[in-house]
Structure 1
Amino acid sequence: MLQRDMVSDISVKIRTLAEEKNAVILAHNYQIPEVQDVADIVGDSLELARAAAERREGVIVFCGVDFMAETAAILSPEKIVLLPAPDAHCPMAGMITGGEVRTLRERFPDAAVVAYVNTTAEVKAESDICCTSANALKVVESLDETQVIMLPDRNLARYIARFTTKEILPWEGYCYVHDRMNSEDVRRARADHPDAELLVHPECRPEVIDAADFVFSTSGMVRHICTSDRSEFIIGTEPGIIHQIEKRCSGKKAYPLSSEAICVNMKKTGLKKVIRSLESLTPRVIVPDEVAVRARVAIERMLHI
């Protein structure tokens, strides 16, 4: 943990370097607080994908995990995309390969393939369209096909299946952070905070979703809390989001549904790594053209919805 004065000094240096290098710093809601505070934009996967496509800076510093930086590189091939923590992988993204998507297409030739943005570039390239937790239902409903393969998150797929007449075929992947939350966590949190509203992420298990008051993406949680008349909330997602809630939702109190639901990979980015990345313009994320061209189609289809 860095001392407060050191954090301040490094943060100032990062902002100076970002201006000199014509760089924008994007950070996911699950990043450590000091990284969130130094970023230009903090948000969920959908917000950051949009920012990567729309910002004019020539350098994108992505404080997140590998698939997010890949998405930025696909959308902005002319830009330098940096991932300060190159070992920040998403385990769920690794639960399906492009070859497995091709096999699914052979088995279900009439089905559309919807790839969660939490997938590799190779998987996106084999898919028809991407989605995030915030727009998954809109994406599914936009398709002409009545049969839809959703991958890789089984919990998100089964949640979306509740709201559509289309046949949803889930892949058996999962987010280990959200999937480990259970009914006992809900019982304990409700007992500890009886006046709090329970908000959970659609990557949670069905039993947790059934017990929730609302289901939102991470940024959806922040928006709901900031505008709600309630003052206390239990948050069924990675607790890094609580920093944004405290910053943006004055007077509101948020408690984690599970204090053990930590995404280790999201915590690998620190200020020192950000500053080294800006100084050297490395590690750079490059997606091969033959993959990027096809993956871009799926991502842009999502962004147009």
Structure 2
Amino acid sequence: MLVQQSSALKDEIMRLKKEKDVVILAHNYQIPDVQDVADFTGDSLGLSRQAATVSQKTILFCGVNFMAETASIISPDKRVLIPDLEAGCSLSDSITVDELRDWKKQHPGAIAVGYVNTTAEIKAELDYCCTSSNAVNVVNAIPEDKEILFLPDMFLGSYVAKMTGRKNMHIWAGECHVHAGIRPEDVQEKLNSLKDAEFVIHPECSCTTPMMYDVADGSYDQNKVSILSTEGMLNHVHQSKSKNFVVATETGILYKMRQQNPGKTFIPASDKAECQYMKMITLEKVYDALVNEKNVVTVPKEIADKARLAINRMLEIS
């Protein structure tokens, strides 16, 4: 019965989005049903770029709040909706705009580099935005004698500092509750259970820190390791000749991996790696947002214009 209801709701969503000329974007961490009704799936930056190129004037962004804000900043002429305005982000919440301003005052002249997983207000205070896939390139593009304030993710920051060799990088002590919860012992247990497994890992994971030196050598206890963004993970596992993978990121990504690679096995590094905020988006909420055209995400022009500068610098370096 539930399957029938779900199928009928999907059909209705597909009809409505055509009728109302709405494009649906869904993050890789969304539940399978929501990914199924999306026109495009991807990581937050890829989806925001997609938002700027689509012909539709209304975007329904199935992800968390900062992602919809970024889409709105990149595409100011479009209307951006989100199925649930309460879908936040523990990493984005780990720094406030007042804390960032105070930090900048303590380090006059420093270059502020912020992960895309931040609010529009924070982005407006940054010199550069970055993603997990281009953070190393962004930091390398900054003159070596310049101090860097890197925020808000301490695990991504540690990884970038290690890969760039920067000694003048200050790292904010923020974390994503999902990635921080993936422990080295979880990973080891899963790797031991799967023969010849490749290990793909998101740089926000706390397990990257003790593993970094091994990973720099290209292995971890004889397992091939790749540190990648979610989009990088999807591309890598598709091209790899390996058959077995242990995946260290939010479990939502496994749906697409299995869909695209039916002959391969994917297991999560931790079964508990679920984002409660991503999972707030349901088919019912997608339908409701479409029918009522509600939950419009807007960013004040002054903030959007400043934030766009940092985002555009990131896009140029990508």
Same fold by TM-score greater than 0.5: yes
Q: Which amino acid aligns with 1:257?
A: A
Distance in 2 between the 1:208 and 1:19 partners? 47
CA distance 1:244–1:142, shift in 2 (3 Å): same
1:201-240 counterparts in 2 under 5 A?
201-205=202-206, 206-209=209-212, 210=214, 211=220, 213-240=225-252
Q: Is the 8 A contact 1:199 1:221 kept in 2?
A: yes
Normalising to structure 2: TM-score of the pair?
A: 0.92
- Cα distance per residue 1:159-182 (max 9 Å; x no partner): 011121433211000011111111
Separation (CA, whole Å) in 2 of partners of 1:125 and 1:15: 36
Give CA deviations for 1:204-243 in whole Å, capped at 9, x if unaligned: 1212555471111111111111111100000001111000
Q: Which amino acid aligns with 1:286?
A: T
CA distance in 2, matches of 1:159, 1:152: 13
Match of 1:58 in 2: 57
CA deviations over 1:233-275 (Å, ceiling 9, x no partner): 0000111100010111231110000001111111011111111
Whole-Å Cα distance in 1 between the matches of residues 85 and 35 of structure 2? Answer: 18
Task: Name the amino acid aligned to 1:183.
Answer: P
The answer to whether the aligner puts 1:11 opposite 2:14 as a matched pair is: no
Q: Percent identity?
A: 44
Counterpart-to-counterpart distance in 2, 1:9 and 1:207: 48
Cα distance in structure 2, aligned partners of 1:197 and 1:165: 26
Secondary structure in structure 2 of the residue aligned to 1:7: helix
2:174 pairs with 1:173:
yes
Secondary structure at the residue paired with 1:26?
strand
Residues 50, 303 of structure 1: 8 Å contact kept: no
**Which is worse superposed, 70-79 or 34-43?**
70-79
Q: Distance in 1 between matches of 2:97 and 2:200?
A: 33
Consecutive unaligned residues of structure 2, counting only runs of 5 or more, are: 215-219
CA RMSD in angstroms, aligned pairs only: 1.5
- Asked if 2 retains the 8 angstrom alpha-carbon contact of 1:111 and 1:148, the reply is yes
For 2:82 and 2:211, locate their aligned partners in 1 and report how far apart those are by CA, in whole Å.
Answer: 33
1:254 matched to 2:266:
yes
- Could you tell me whether the CA contact under 8 Å between 1:149 and 1:169 is conserved in 2? yes
Instruction: Determine helix, strand or coil for the equivalent of 1:60.
Output: strand
Match of 1:280 among 273, 284, 292: 292
2: CA distance, partners of 1:147 / 1:52: 34
Contact 1:31/1:63 (8 A) holds in 2: yes
Q: Distance in 1 between matches of 2:101 and 2:53?
A: 31
Q: Unaligned 5+ residue runs, structure 1?
A: none
C-alpha distance in structure 2 between counterparts of 1:184 and 1:165, whole Å: 27
Map 1:1-305 → 2, pairs under 5 A: 3-144=2-143, 146-166=146-166, 167-205=168-206, 206-209=209-212, 210=214, 211=220, 213-305=225-317
* Counterpart Cα distance in 2 of 1:204 and 1:45: 17
Is the CA contact (8 Å cut-off) linking 2:49 and 2:74 kept in structure 1?
no
Partner secondary structure for residue 163 of structure 1? helix
Deviations 1:25-69 (A, max 9, x none): 111110000101110111112211211222221011010101001
User: Normalised by the size of structure 1, how large is the TM-score?
Assistant: 0.96
Code of the aligned partner of 1:26: L
3-state DSSP of counterpart to 1:274: helix
Code of the residue aligned with 1:221 in structure 2: it is M
AA of the residue aligned to 2:44: S
**8 Å Cα contact 2:195/2:244 also seen in 1:** no
User: What SS is found at the alignment partner of 1:213?
Assistant: strand
3-state secondary structure, aligned to 1:149 = strand
Query: Structure 2: which amino acid aligns with 1:232?
Result: N
How far, CA to CA, are the matches of 1:94 and 1:136 in structure 2? 20
Secondary structure of the residue aligned to 2:60 is strand
Query: Does the CA contact (< 8 Å) of 2:29 and 2:250 recur in 1?
Result: yes
Matched residue count: 304
| Cα distance per residue 1:134-189 (max 9 Å; x no partner) | 11111112223632111000000100111214332110000111111112112211
Distance 2:290 2:316 in 1: 31
Name the CA distance, whole Å, in 2 between partners of 1:61 and 1:51: 12
